[in-house]
């Protein structure tokens, strides 16, 4: 909640606890109502906001442009005993003031995909759901172009915005290494095992990774010193802003543990 809403609610509670002699003190209950409403923070028309939510071995990314919200989930974002949509995605979207998901790219295994959709539909309005590498393979959402890439029975997502391309994948396959997309600005992946092999065949400017090990980070910085790396710690998020000209870290939102963004810019 905003500072104004918090201050108003605090004043209301103090007024409610005041002596009965104060007239109309029960009207203070209405002073707490602004706490229930979070204003939506719209992204500027010429910008795109990419947020990586730390979900362990899974890959959850929220992409926003103007009033458009797109959610991408892959790998183990929905586990057997833990519903990460309720514990991670829902609090983040509600805290941002988002009530509608324009497109939900669900690249989870088939036995988990419908459970993930149902868990989100309880709290948000989902206009469209797109499963891994099923038709159509090219989807327009506002000014964003999403292309699903089928690489050896695994599906990756290519996001195009102006002259910028973002590749999101939870598994770097041999087909992706041998035939990578051209002109990638930002790579988002949870596959650290084959990451260096892909970087040898592709030219990128930025890496956005969850839970990058220090040894792996040192190897990447040694072989690819020109790549800027952004990574999360456990239970944290990292948020980037992409506009027509450049990419920069906007701000970070940790939950329980401190967020680390490497290297510092």
The per-residue pLDDT for range 144-194, each reduced to its tens digit, is 899 998 877 788 999 998 888 999 988 888 888 888 887 888 999 888 888
Residue 205 has pLDDT above 80, yes or no: yes
User: Which pTM value belongs to this model?
Assistant: 0.73
Question: Integer distance in angstroms from the first to the last C-alpha of the chain?
Answer: 29
Q: What are phi and psi of 25, to 5 degrees?
A: -70, -20
Least confident of 125-129, 195-199, 202-206, 243-247: 243-247
**pLDDT value, residue 98:** 87
Band (221; pLDDT cuts 50, 70, 90): confident
Q: What are phi and psi of 262, to 5 degrees?
A: -125, 140
* Percentage of residues in the chain having pLDDT higher than 90: 11
Is the CB of residue 61 less than 8 Å from the CB of residue 53? yes
Q: Name the range with the highest mean pLDDT among 29-38, 103-112, 158-167, 206-215.
A: 158-167
Preceding omega of 263 cis (within 30 degrees of 0): yes
Q: Give the other-Cβ count within 10 Å of 11's Cβ.
A: 13
H helix intervals, 89-223 = 90-96, 110-121, 174-178, 195-199, 214-223
Is the CB of residue 200 less than 8 Å from the CB of residue 224? no
| Beta strands at 228-232 and 206-210: parallel, antiparallel or unpaired | parallel
Is the CB of residue 208 less than 8 Å from the CB of residue 60? no
Q: How far is CA 9 from CA 1, 26, 167, 207, in A?
A: 10, 13, 44, 42
- The tokens for 33 are 């109502």
**pLDDT value, residue 167:** 92
Residue partners of 117: CB distance under 8 A and separation at least 6: 104, 106, 126, 129
Band (112; pLDDT cuts 50, 70, 90): low
Q: Domains in the chain and their CATH numbers?
A: 3-36 (no CATH), 47-249 (3.60.15.10)
**pLDDT value, residue 71:** 92
**pLDDT value, residue 79:** 53
Least confident of 81-95, 183-197, 213-227: 81-95
Band (143; pLDDT cuts 50, 70, 90): confident
Band (248; pLDDT cuts 50, 70, 90): very low
- The tokens for 195 are 């990451």
């Amino acid at each position: 909640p905003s500072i104004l809403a918090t201050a108003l609610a605090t004043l209301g509670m103090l007024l409610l606890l005041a002596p009965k002699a104060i007239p109309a003190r029960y009207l203070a209950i209405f002073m707490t109502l602004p706490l229930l409403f979070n204003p939506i923070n719209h992204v500027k028309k010429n910008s795109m906001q990419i947020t990586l939510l730390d979900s362990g071995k899974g890959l959850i990314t929220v992409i926003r442009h103007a009033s458009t919200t797109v959610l991408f989930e892959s790998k183990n974002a929905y586990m057997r005993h833990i519903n990460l949509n309720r514990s991670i995605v829902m609090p983040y979207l509600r805290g941002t003031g988002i009530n509608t998901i324009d497109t939900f790219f669900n690249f989870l295994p088939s036995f988990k995909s419908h459970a993930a959709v149902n868990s989100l539909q309880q709290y948000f309005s989902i206009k469209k759901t797109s499963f891994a590498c099923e038709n159509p393979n090219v989807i327009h959402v506002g000014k964003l172009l999403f292309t699903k890439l089928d690489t050896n029975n695994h599906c990756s997502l290519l996001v195009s915005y102006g002259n910028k391309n973002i590749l999101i994948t939870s598994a770097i396959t041999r087909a992706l290494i041998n035939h990578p997309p051209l002109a990638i600005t930002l790579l988002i992946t949870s596959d650290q095992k084959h990451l260096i092999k892909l970087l040898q065949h592709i030219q990128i400017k930025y890496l956005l990774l969850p839970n990058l090990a220090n040894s792996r980070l040192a190897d990447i910085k040694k072989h690819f010193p020109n790549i800027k790396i952004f990574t999360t710690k456990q239970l944290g998020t990292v948020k980037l802003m992409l506009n027509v000209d450049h990419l920069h870290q906007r701000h970070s939102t940790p939950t329980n543990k401190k967020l680390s963004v490497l290297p510092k810019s």
